[in-house]
Structure 1
Amino acid sequence: MKKNKTDFDTRFWAVRRKHSGLQLMETFFQFNDLVASKEKLNNIINCAVKRNSWIKEDPSVIFHFRQSMQSFVRAGYLITLKEKKWVVNIQLENTSPLALGLLSEKEYRNPLLVFKKAFREYSVQEFDYFMSGMVYFSLGVYDNLPERNIISPYIHLTKMLDAAHLILERRGKKYN
């Protein structure tokens, strides 16, 4: 008799077909605004670090955001596997420092560098573990604090959000 195993992995997409990393990122930004996503990520981190506070949003919204961020990280990993160059000759003289965000000038010219650097330091599973831990600590009051460095993955995720938005923005200008 064949044993049936239940698959408990969360998947942002229900169909088992191949997806493009860019398509997944477009889907992410259709449901999540860049500024709102960065703000929500910041709130989750702040509440996770503070001992006597928890996030005031509905837990289902936070859980859905965690799932969409997991999908976003996988989309970024897919993009790094494709090794496409997203370098566009951009004059940085015309670009304001506010447009750069956390990105350096080199990363602004080639946003793919952000993803490559992030996945050199952390694996997809480590980003999943980080997001799960931060959501766990932000939803309640706990005596313990996260045991790992949370600043570095947080900065990587924020930079990846900026870089992905920049890639999609440039892609739209290139084909329109």
Structure 2
Amino acid sequence: MYIHHVAIALFISVLSSCASVTQAPLTVQTFQPAFNSTLTEQPASSTSESEKIPSATSTISPNAGTPMPDWKGVPVMPGALKGETKAFGYMYWVNATVKEVETYYLEQMDLAGWPLVKETAVLSWYGRGTLMQFKREYSNEFIDIILVVDTDDNSMMVAIKKYIYNP
């Protein structure tokens, strides 16, 4: 019986301590939009639907400039049309076959001490292509060269990436 009274007293003290705790109300801020969007109906134009659809005629970037002769010691194939530095490395376009580009890089990279360690098919945002991976001997430096043919105009996009692999 005594334990029963102690348990009830403990329960009542816990409940009474909870009642004395008050919470401050949360403040709520209302933000006004910085702009109001409205839709305005435009009159129909005489432009046909086929004229409105952009055509995919070439993968050559309109921002690309004159290609470099090499990028960080990696040769750019002679005859390159346009080139541009990207966040990942360097990209250029050339009118050549996959076999011509592969042969060029196999020869040039081997002469520079970068033997081919891997070649595989890839799927890029430009289309299907080939990844050629070269590794400097006795080093953890790699160069990836990705070749992708644009099926619309048969131009070749070549991307070069140079990096150090630390496993």
TM range (shorter): under 0.3
Hey, which of these two has a bigger chunk of strand by percent? 2
Q: Which has the higher contact order (CA 8 A, sep 6+)?
A: 1
Hey, which of these two has a bigger chunk of helix by percent? 1
Give the structure-2-normalised TM-score.
Answer: 0.24
